[in-house]
Structure 1
């Protein structure tokens, strides 16, 4: 009895969604790529496909590569900082983190589409190098070089350890409260000296356009924010965002997510997403 083609595809769908999201940084675009793969799967000569999982991975990867080329052009004119859509993690979420954090997702943006594909397929999703070469239509030696270059680029952004969930939740809650009250002393104690803040408003809502560098500058920004909006800042809950401790809140009615990278007990990077187009699917579990 032949396997049901729908069952075969559905068994691969969560992994294909993870791959597409990691390639594109967008849930909606990931869904579109997987839907297109489904249409191609329906039209394919399935009797000739010996390994459905490899075939579907190849189709989704190539679709994403084409999408990434146009996305790069759009991001050149993107207002301010571009961040991936926040991934609010749950144990049964179809888009599991695959040991990638938001910091690494941001680092992947520095790679070419082929470097990103080679790194994700080989280093993250464990695909053999010869299969990766076939997927991206490059020689194995060239594919190995692409993966090595990508690895070197992102290595410095790998966090040394993950913060336990309880510890992360407590720190995220304390950070929100310090921001809401504009407590400079408390903020200064929580931030590493070289901390950076990255905010994505997409030109749709008020947000800082450039990366803010240094604990002092970040503290000043939150103190000013507290004076203006402190009474209108509402914590909706703490969570994990792409492997990092974080929280969801409202400021003057606008939803935002904040993810915190922590090293040696201090916050080294802050990632704020305010672009409403990237928050439509955010649900606090």
Structure 2
């Protein structure tokens, strides 16, 4: 047909030109606007509902189920993610995306227990503070006994007067001072987003080694403070006589960070 130089026309079986047939079908389609309803009971033909099991993967099935039943955002999650992004924007000078925040806690610089702690804290799932106000006859557990104030993750990691957080952060700053760089003013958002913190040198260039050291020190320190709090409140039942001595806490911190840096 390509080498045929004469004019070629197409006709249907009745001898009509194809253009006439096409125009007729188009007019019928315009006048007949009724939508076709698929037969959901049919298992034949190309109009079969659902998807083939032989082509379905676990990943694709999970994505479909997530779209069918979207999970509403938790208020605690929105608050903590927002605080993390705000703290990072103030420190780094640019706003990270929500996806960046969640991906950051999956860094290989976090051990699995530390990663789980970060994930739970971002979701605000720990049973502390206001959680106990919803449990009858357990309202007293909402307060921090040594400080006599409402217990929150901010309070546990940065404010509590019980043995633990003051000594650990002091030792962390002492270790950081060997880098010759300024220690940032910490808050909960910066702790949760420590994997995205960009430490810069005097020339304003990003210091990759210092940034990695910062995320390791901050994540390990925060997780150890959380473990000490659980030992004090759960294992020792808030008994002041069973509180860990400061030197014991310092030794635990040094042993933990030395082990981490040695393996690293």
| Larger strand fraction of residues | 1
TM-score (norm 1): 0.24
TM-score (norm 2): 0.25
The one of the two structures with greater contact order (alpha-carbon pairs below 8 A, sep at least 6) is: 1
Structure ID, larger Rg: 2
| Larger helix fraction of residues | 2
